């Protein structure tokens, strides 16, 4: 009788061990590649929004939408640019942040107010006159809105609003970026979040944008319609409104030191 050919038990164990070793080496690399792909996809969407904002401003005499203080309460960017983005849900969400904190039926998913800012999306929401319920993980810089006189949000001075793209310093002024809510009005004195995504309140609105979406960075569209990655600590150096102090207390120029930042942000690059 001829000998039957095959693997011995020891040979099979060796092969399995080699496969397991290769998987342990390759999996982190594959994870990094997936994250990089989502970051690139997010940047592509941000640039697409630059086209939408540009088209809107051209159609409305160089001005942007009024924002959430408009009457009726329907001129937020989601509704105002609906005919440009065609209510495509995917365009409103960064691929790294698609889990909504309220479902389509108004039920909480348990994410609102937790430390999951990098993976959560605002909504679902459907204010007056929206065509459909939407969720999103981007937000406008509220100082770019062309708000109605006397209805400036949070008592911000009327003369600090950009209202449109035809102003100076547009390459340093954020227009549209990663956010926990669809808008915000940061101040130079806003304190950084104690944890990633832990607050978005009216007193610290920089926290709506200071979220670890892309390994210490977020993607940002500027008022000149350019787009790039922005470091989380860099947020305090951007020109959020016309009189924003870009050398405030949370910048290197303003004297901040590494130990001043919350633990989760200390390893990030200083600006």
The Cα diameter of the chain in Å comes to 99
Domain boundaries, the chain: 11-265
User: For 190, which DSSP code?
Assistant: P
Pairing of strands 99-100, 120-125: parallel
Query: What are the distances in angstroms from CA 188 to CA 90, 123, 128, 192?
Result: 32, 27, 33, 11
The pair of three-digit structure tokens given for residue 213, joined into one six-digit string:
């979406």
Tokens read off for 146: 């062309």
pLDDT in tens, 117-173: 788 899 898 887 889 999 999 999 999 999 988 989 888 999 999 999 999 889 999
Check residue 26 and give its pLDDT: 67
Cα separation, 11 vs 20, whole angstroms: 14
For residue 92, what are its two tokens? 């409103």
pLDDT score recorded for residue 18: 79
Q: Are 114 and 100 in contact (CB under 8 A)?
A: no
Average confidence score pLDDT of the chain: 89
The pTM for the full model equals 0.87
Give the DSSP per-residue string, 40-93.
HHHHHHHHHHHHHHHHHHHHTTT-----TTSSSTT-SHHHHTHHHHTT-GGGGS
């Amino acid at each position: 009788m001829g000998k039957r050919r095959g693997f011995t038990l020891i040979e099979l164990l060796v092969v399995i061990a080699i496969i397991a070793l290769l998987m342990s080496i390759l999996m982190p690399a594959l994870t990094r590649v997936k994250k990089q792909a989502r970051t690139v996809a997010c940047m592509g969407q941000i640039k697409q929004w630059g086209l939408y904002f540009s088209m809107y401003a051209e159609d409305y005499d160089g001005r942007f939408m009024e924002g959430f203080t408009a009457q009726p309460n329907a001129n937020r960017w989601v509704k105002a640019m609906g005919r440009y983005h065609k209510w495509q849900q995917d365009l409103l969400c960064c691929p790294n942040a698609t889990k909504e904190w309220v479902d389509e039926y108004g039920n909480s998913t348990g994410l609102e107010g937790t430390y999951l800012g990098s993976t959560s999306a605002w909504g679902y929401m459907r204010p007056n006159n929206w065509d459909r319920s939407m969720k999103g993980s981007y937000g406008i810089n509220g100082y770019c809105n062309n708000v109605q006189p006397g209805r400036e949000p949070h008592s911000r001075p009327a003369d600090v609003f950009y209202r449109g793209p035809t102003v100076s310093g547009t390459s340093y002024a954020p227009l549209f970026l990663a956010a926990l809510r669809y808008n915000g009005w940061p101040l130079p004195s806003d304190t950084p979040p104690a944890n990633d995504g832990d607050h978005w309140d009216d007193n610290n609105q920089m926290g709506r944008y200071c979220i670890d979406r892309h390994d210490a960075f977020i993607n940002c569209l500027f008022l000149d319609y350019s787009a790039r990655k922005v470091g989380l600590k860099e947020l305090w150096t951007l020109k959020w409104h016309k009189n924003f102090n870009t050398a405030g207390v949370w910048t290197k120029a303003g004297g901040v030191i590494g130990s001043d930042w919350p633990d989760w942000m200390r390893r990030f690059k200083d600006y």
